[in-house]
């Protein structure tokens, strides 16, 4: 059986600019280059999987229905751009600030590897040949625990304008790396895109 390679993406800070607990379409701003990156990944034989902590649900800032509405719209945009997302995995729980049933530890919440392992099982993913792109240390920890072969974290600091500029340029560099196959040929390396 042929296994899929996956490009795993965090959502906030990788797909869209992280403004804090984004759940409305009008607040969702794509990072320039994300569609190009995903098209390049698909052309290189990867499927696209989103893995995202969504503690805003657990904290009561928005509902699962709000999240699913935004996710449906986001996936439609990727489809329109020729870069379809295969699946989206999310964790709504928070061990400290969750409300009611949402206040609990979860194996799915990054830095735990649960979402990656569920995707591996569901989609027959060759995890060691896959890539994770995130913007937080918890993304890298979860990817490492899951056995993701290539992990790339980019970090941006400063004003909103600097963050926007840096995120956009990082996305370009990631796409360039994918196209040049540096990710593919350097298995088990950690790329810190700072």
| Residues with catalytic function | 10, 12
d(Cα 139, Cα 155) in Å, to the nearest integer?
A: 12
Gyration radius from the chain CA atoms: 16
d(Cα 17, Cα 27) in Å, to the nearest integer?
A: 9
Judge whether 74 and 112 are in contact, CB under 8 Å.
Answer: no
Structure-token pair, residue 106: 């979860």
Judge whether 50 and 68 are in contact, CB under 8 Å.
Answer: no
**Closest by Cα among 37, 21, 27, 7 to 167:** 37
Judge whether 124 and 3 are in contact, CB under 8 Å.
Answer: yes
């Amino acid at each position: 059986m042929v296994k899929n390679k996956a490009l795993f993406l965090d959502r906030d800070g990788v797909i869209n600019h992280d403004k804090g607990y984004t759940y409305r379409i009008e607040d969702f701003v794509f990072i320039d280059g994300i569609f190009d990156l995903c098209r390049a990944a698909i052309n290189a034989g990867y499927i696209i999987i989103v893995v995202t902590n969504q503690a805003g649900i657990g904290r009561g800032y928005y509902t699962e229905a709000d999240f699913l509405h935004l996710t449906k719209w986001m996936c439609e945009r990727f489809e329109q751009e020729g870069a379809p997302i295969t699946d989206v995995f999310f964790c709504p729980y928070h061990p400290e600030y969750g409300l009611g049933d949402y206040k609990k530890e979860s194996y799915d919440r990054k830095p735990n590897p649960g979402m990656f392992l569920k995707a591996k099982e569901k989609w027959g993913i060759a995890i060691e040949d896959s890539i994770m792109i995130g913007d937080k240390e918890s993304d890298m920890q979860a990817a490492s625990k899951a056995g993701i072969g290539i992990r790339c974290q980019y970090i941006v600091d400063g004003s909103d304008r600097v963050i926007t500029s840096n995120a956009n340029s990082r996305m370009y560099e990631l796409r360039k790396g994918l196209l040049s196959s540096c990710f593919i040929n350097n298995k088990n390396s950690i790329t810190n895109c700072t």
